[in-house]
């Protein structure tokens, strides 16, 4: 297995963890009727999910690089 592939898969795992954590926080805030639940979702939950999406997109970029190198 190539080093880049391992890196890509690790990024996928990190992305998954961030998204799952963010989504669990989102479920908790949806079940908690309190002004702080809005703050928790907006600043923690949504940020974690957003970061997870960014990491996933980064993993796509890493995945494309070896292919491009192979083609040149």
Near other proteins by CB under 8 A: residue from 4, 44, 46, 58: 46
Near other proteins by CB under 8 A: residue from 4, 44, 49, 62: 49
| 64 binds other proteins per the rule CB under 8 A | no
Find where tokens 């890196």 sit.
7
Instruction: Name the burial class of residue 18, with classes exposed (0-12), middle (13-18) and buried (19+) by CB atoms within 10 angstroms of its CB.
Output: buried
Which two tokens mark 70? Answer: 């192979």
Judged by CB under 8 A, the chain residues 10 through 29 that form the site for other proteins are 10, 12-13, 15-17, 19-20, 22-24, 26-27, 29
């Amino acid at each position: 297995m190539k080093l880049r592939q391992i890196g890509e898969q690790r990024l996928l795992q990190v992305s998954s963890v961030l998204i799952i954590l963010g989504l669990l926080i989102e479920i908790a805030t949806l079940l908690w009727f309190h002004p702080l639940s809005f703050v928790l979702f907006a600043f923690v939950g949504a940020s974690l999910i957003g970061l997870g999406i960014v990491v996933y997109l980064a993993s796509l970029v890493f995945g494309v690089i070896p292919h491009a190198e192979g083609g040149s």
